[in-house]
Amino acid sequence: MAKLSGSKIIVECLLEQGVDTVFGYPGGAILNLYDELYKYQDRIKHILTSHEQGAAHAADGYARASDKVGVCLATSGPGATNLVTGIASAYMDSIPVVAITCNVGNNLLGKDSFQEVDIAGIVMPVTKYSFIVRDGNKLADTIRRAFKIAVSGRPGPVLIDITKDVTGDSFEYEYKEPEKVKPQVSVTEEEILNTISLIRGSKKPFALVGGGAILSDASEELRTFVSKVDCPVADTLMGKGAFDGSNEKYTGMVGMHGTKASNLGITECDLLIVIGARFSDRVIGNAKKFAKNAKILHIDVDAAEISKNIKADYSLIGDARLILRKLNARLDPVHHDEWVAHIERLKDMYPIKTNKSNLTGEYIIETIDEKTKDDTIISTEVGQHQMWTAQFYKFKNPRTFLTSGGLGTMGYGLGAAIGAKVAMPDKTVVNIAGDGCFRMNMNEIATATRYDIPIIQVIINNHVLGMVRQWQNLFYGKRYSQTILRDKVDFVKLAEAMGAKAKRVTTKEEFDEAFDEALKSNTTFVIECEIDSDEKVFPMVSPGAAISDVFDEKDLKINPIK
């Protein structure tokens, strides 16, 4: 046992947990920790982001891409509060992140001191747990507990706030091996047998896959399960990549911008097997009409999700991978040829078609899909480009799609792309943004160039807030209140000023050439793509409508929205 400064204990505990990279921004209250990080720079890499929010998103992207815990740091006051949006994004999508902030000294707490804020209280609703460490003797065990909480059960973010005097004073420290967290399953043999009986009695089963299947690394077990059940598969936005998007059983995304085959198939099925999804409002539409002909079997690690939004007839609580293994071991293959053929007909009748007449958002995404490898990591911001990516990029592997699904955070993708590339340096990383989202955190291009992080940033620029404008066009009488962005901002010049290579394209041919160049460049590369302001994402379900009421442009011409 040795006596170390609080800051040194923090760094040693990070090393205990296998942390090799942190993202952050220094300040007065956290200065002792940054002084210690200087001494450990050969063992822990620190990425200085341009803004604390970028650090939180980078830690999130690092975690999603690598299946490790992401770590971000910030000082007290505004530094800490700037992390909140990123922490909330991680919380909504169940991403394991540990955020470490430092506060004013114990003697200054509660006195409205300079840059003092109760960050542990502020983030309480959007973390699995938040700590404030005022006693250095509890520091090491608090950090260890935070990492364990972040990855246990349903993963999520944890915040540790540490007073400045604790980081400067000395305390006893002894190395401890990190505690291994085993995935939990609380299902009985009877529940497994009843579930198998339920599946065997179904004539029209349908599987819906969410982000929990990715977090539990259940892709292999999922493929086996789908093959044995012989059923079509849809995914939520967060579930993309859990099941191969090029597989013949795959029907596409479900929900507000889901395919007709998925939305109609789920409406018609007699058994909906939901694996690691939480029945978000954007997935289910009108809850009273969702899968109204089906019995619902819900598999989830979080018991609180069962019957929260949609009543489950049956449930299995625990790690999705382990539950699927148990089911696969006892389930003999069944066949639903007629049902699968019916869903195939729906896919043929209602394909999502790409407009290739000129440079469109759809064409851009489909081209990126064609030109990149299956292990490419795609991150997005939030809006039309996010939905086009979900519709037209065929994700074949888990942990290759990073997006803010639950919170819908504009400005998420660029920081996440940086974190993903740092975590997985041998993979191509592309962030896809709209012009409205890009301007939220575009200063992180400077972070990428500072560290020579070769990400590709694609900006689909329609000079409007595209998704909001689409709603205004369809539901608000074309009153485009504050959604037109035709200003004098030049993204190419801005990117070049921050040290990136940048090109603006207006045609399909120019985009093809620019993206090929970006793939070969091994540098931070920004491509601004000019598209029409009135492009829309279809299919679509009106807010509050049943997902079976999904419509496209052809439907609108027959039955215009009034």
Q: Which residue has the tokens 């999603």?
A: 64
Give buried/exposed letters for 401-435 (b at 16+ CB in 10 A, else e): bbbbbbbbbbbbbbbbbbbbbbbbeebbbbbbbbb
Helix segments in 256-408, DSSP class H? 260-268, 281-284, 320-330, 337-349, 361-371, 384-392
User: Residue 213: which of 186, 234, 188 has the closest Cα?
Assistant: 234
Q: Which portions of the chain are predicted below pLDDT 50?
A: none
Per domain, the residue ranges of the chain are 2-173, 189-349, 361-537
Note the pTM of the prediction, 2 decimals.
Answer: 0.97
Q: For residue 184, what pLDDT is reported? A: 86
76: phi > 0 → left, psi -120 to 50 → alpha, else beta; which?
Answer: beta
Specify the CATH class of 189-349 in words: alpha beta
CATH of 2-173, one of 1.10.40.30, 1.10.357.10, 3.40.50.970, 3.40.50.300: 3.40.50.970
| 253 within 8 A of 247, measured Cβ to Cβ | no
In the block, which residue shows the tokens 């041998």? 426
pLDDT number for residue 431: 98
Omega before 183 within 30 of 0, i.e. cis: no
Q: Which residues are catalytic?
A: 52, 114-115, 164, 467
CATH number for the segment(s) 361-537? 3.40.50.970
